[in-house]
Amino acid sequence: MTAQTDTRTVLASRLRRLRVARGFSLEALAAEMGGVVTKQALSKYEHSRAMPTPRVLTTLARALGVKAMSLVTPARVTIEIVAFRKTSGLGRKESARVEGLAETMLEQRVRLQELTGEGDGSDVPVRGLRTASLESSETAAAAIRERWGLGRDPLANVTEALEEHHVHVLEIEAGARFDGLAVVARRPNGGVAGAAVVSRRGVPGERQRFNLAHELGHLVLDLPGGVDAEKAAHRFAGAFLAPVAALQRDVGRKRNTVSIDELRLLKRRYGISLQALVYRLRDLGVITDNHAAALWAEINARGWKMHEPDEMEPERPSWALRATLRALAEGLISAEEAGLTPGAPAMALAPVTQRPAFLRLPLAERRRLLEAQAERLRAHYEESSDWRDLTAGGAPDAR
């Protein structure tokens, strides 16, 4: 294989993944590029039948929100989808978009890890916890909590706990048919370079927390063929969020009845939904199957199956923004790579990895969102020493 052929192959693979992840059709991408090339030319690039000129490559990269070199540079990691939770109604095109977006985001997170030296995926035992039964998911969840020093009490912030132990938390704009995804980046030797759990943006906090814990279960559980992976991950999530000792201390080992009001208090304490709590109490044998069914019926009768009372605010990932700002401050990336528009103050934008939908908006709407986000981030950081130091020094030169 010649160098040119190899470059074409790299471009074809990365271009298609990025285009699909951004939600562009070939025609829409051609329009986003200002008609510099046709959709037929883009199709040739994606099928390794042609290479763009340097000018077209630059325009193409700008439309996709990446650097031109990243389109023709082989990836340093291989991305593996460990689990993808979705309903049958999620179409092939949308599934491919979600997968491509998750893969792209994790690849960029791994690059940030390498630039800043902020750990890798070695603290995540990917498929490293042998789980021979649904019940042994309890042991696996306890093992992760012990490994990470999380104690035995409810977790105040699941997202922070995951990010502190190098599990990236990714949020994706997607429809209700998408539930969650677990993904791993592997080095050429098979070692784990990074791991991520993905949740849909906009769900209530209690559902988000459970989704993240569920996907963590998919990442770490090593299941034999006879164990249902979804049920095992569900049991893992319940044990991770509501450890048996803590829950039995609060509720008791055996109950004849548990009221809805008591469940609402427990929801606030453990940060999981009423329905998940009923599952958890039933799985532990605190309540009977019949009482669990009666509680689910009551929840449904009150119209809480889709929207429960006492909804929690979603947790917000912060690692990517912090790492991006650090890399920008230390001159490891350019302002453009950080997602800053020319002349914009440092920290004015979230990382490029968090803006897939942004790239598809009209120019006027983009400018409005940039201004609003810049103001929000400025208000958040203006009191910190990091903000004063970075804005005083200005953005570093691109490298």
Are 120 and 208 in a shared domain?
A: yes
Least confident range from 59-68, 140-149, 358-367: namely 358-367
Give CA separation, 347 vs 81, 96, 193, 298, 321, in Å: 31, 31, 27, 47, 8
- Answer whether 234's CB lies under 8 Å from 279's CB: yes
Are 128 and 163 in a shared domain?
A: yes
The per-residue pLDDT for 76 is 86
Are 251 and 146 in a shared domain?
A: yes
pLDDT band at 360 (very low <50, low <70, confident <90, very high): low
Residue 154 CA to residue 162 CA, distance in Å, equals 14
List the domain range (segments joined by +) for residue 323. Answer: 319-393
Whether residue 210 is contained in a domain is answered as yes
Whether residue 8 is contained in a domain is answered as yes
The per-residue pLDDT for 362 is 63
Q: Is 141 exposed, middle or buried (0-12, 13-18, 19+ CB in 10 A)?
A: buried
For residue 70, pLDDT over 60 is answered with: yes
Q: Give me the CATH number covering residue 20.
A: 1.10.260.40
Cβ count near 317 (within 10 Å)? 20
Nearest Cα neighbor of 263 from 254, 255, 273 is: 273
pLDDT band at 395 (very low <50, low <70, confident <90, very high): very low
For residue 382, pLDDT over 60 is answered with: no
Q: Which of 21, 45, 74 is the last residue of a domain?
A: 74
pLDDT band at 58 (very low <50, low <70, confident <90, very high): very high
Q: Which of 74, 99, 126 is the last residue of a domain?
A: 74
How confident is the model over 109-156, as pLDDT tens digits? 999 999 998 877 778 999 999 999 999 999 999 999 999 999 999 999
Contacts of 146 (CB under 8 A, 6+ apart): none
How confident is the model over 25-38, as pLDDT tens digits? 999 999 999 999 99
Dihedral angle sign, alpha carbons of residues 63, 64, 65, 68: negative
pTM comes to: 0.81
The per-residue pLDDT for 370 is 54
Number of domains in the chain: 3
Whether residue 30 is contained in a domain is answered as yes
Whether residue 21 is contained in a domain is answered as yes
The per-residue pLDDT for 351 is 41
Q: Which of 269, 301, 333 is the last residue of a domain?
A: 301
Residue 106 CA to residue 354 CA, distance in Å, equals 11
168 forms beta bridges with: 196
The per-residue pLDDT for 290 is 97
Are 284 and 325 in a shared domain?
A: no
